[in-house]
Amino acid sequence: MISLAAPWLLLLLPLPLLVWRLAPPHRERESALRFPFFRRTAAAAGAAPRAGALVLSRPKLSGISAVLCWGLLVLALARPERVGAPITIENAARDVVMAIDISGSMDARDFATPEGERIQRLSGVREVVRAFVSGREGDRMALIVFGTSAYLQAPLTDDLETIIALLDRTEVGMAGPHTALGDAIGLSIRTFETSEIDQRLLILLSDGSDTASRMSPVNAAEIAADRGVEIYTIGVGDPDATGENRVDLTTLKEVAQRTGGQYFFAEDAASLEAVYDRIDELAPRETETLSFRPRQPLAWIPMGLAALLGGLTVLYLQLRSRRRHRAARLSEEPA
């Protein structure tokens, strides 16, 4: 479909006619040859001398060409464009940060697969998280891993394949043997500072108790709540263990409660998958729908035609003038 972006500019089409009708004619004083006995000659001819004017005539072709060029230029000013079929794009209005505990306790081989096999905690978590990330098409996600310190592996991005690739390269102990739960929440808050989306979700998975943070997890959760971050905590591991290997369920519950999120405990792969499904139910993804029509400018076509028509007209008039001058010189030459 062809449309005009500024159709009101077509009102300029009659402008030359209005100028020709309403504006006074252009006059120029020209030098003339004084003719002796002019008054006597005029009296002998019975004519009354008066101020005269010479009206220059122009070829019809130049007038027609000028009208067409003006019309094409006004059409170009109106910006014709080809409008394509509507295109609809849905963008997720949610940013998600995954914070995964990779402390030394994640090396324990007590995570049950659906087949009943006992595997390393991190390996089991990685498999389930990979499937969860793959299903977040349209969301922006970030990946944080933490142990003794917290590290941002990937900032907020819609390149989910990169998130999965970085997760696959993560190994137990890469961030240190201890657990800095509060620092992981703090780093997540800083990650969300680049987000302009209202729905901000932090999924925090840990199998230990906080022993290395500079800020307590609960205080960090209060700051997160002030920044509009909703935290869903997931505990894995053994709540009856001792020391750092004991998952601190109380802290995880309080962190989730302070931000309006929810706490979950996952003993095996099946329960962890159920946790992620439950998170989707509790925090459904919001989307923004953008619809637009692609537009291809076509103003260059009438502008090019006007230039071509004007150039051809000038060329034709020049050639005709030269032929006339040549014919006039030939007629003046003696036979």
Neighbours of 194 (CB within 10 A): 11
Which residue ranges of the chain lie beneath pLDDT 70? 30, 32-35, 49-57, 89-93, 241-245, 282-290, 332-335
DSSP 8-state secondary structure symbol assigned to residue 118: E
Task: 310-316: list long-range contacts, CB under 8 Å, 24+ apart.
Answer: 310/65, 310/69, 313/61, 313/62, 313/65, 316/61
Residues 190-234 have pLDDT tens digits of 999 888 777 888 999 988 778 878 888 999 999 999 999 999 999
The identity of residue 136, as a single letter, is R
Helix (H, G, I), strand (E, B) or coil at 282: helix
Residue 275 near residue 264, CB atoms below 8 Å = yes
DSSP string covering 68-90, please? HHHHHHHHHHT-EEEE---EEEE
Looking only at the bridges linking them, the beta strands covering 87-92 and 287-292 are antiparallel
pLDDT of residue 54: 57
Distance CA 185, CA 202 (A): 8
Cβ neighbours of residue 87 under 8 Å, at least 6 residues apart?
291, 292, 293, 294
Q: What percent of the chain has pLDDT over 90?
A: 25
The domain ranges of the chain are 2-23+57-85+294-332, 89-290
Neighbours of 217 (CB within 10 A): 29
User: Which bin fits 37, alpha (ψ -120 to 50), beta or left (φ > 0)?
Assistant: left
**pTM of the full structure:** 0.60
Identify the sign of the CA torsion 117, 118, 121, 122: negative
- Phi first, then psi, for residue 92 (nearest 5°) are -70, 140
pLDDT of residue 51: 64
Q: How far is CA 310 from CA 56, 103, 314, in A?
A: 20, 78, 6
CATH code assigned to 89-290: 3.40.50.410
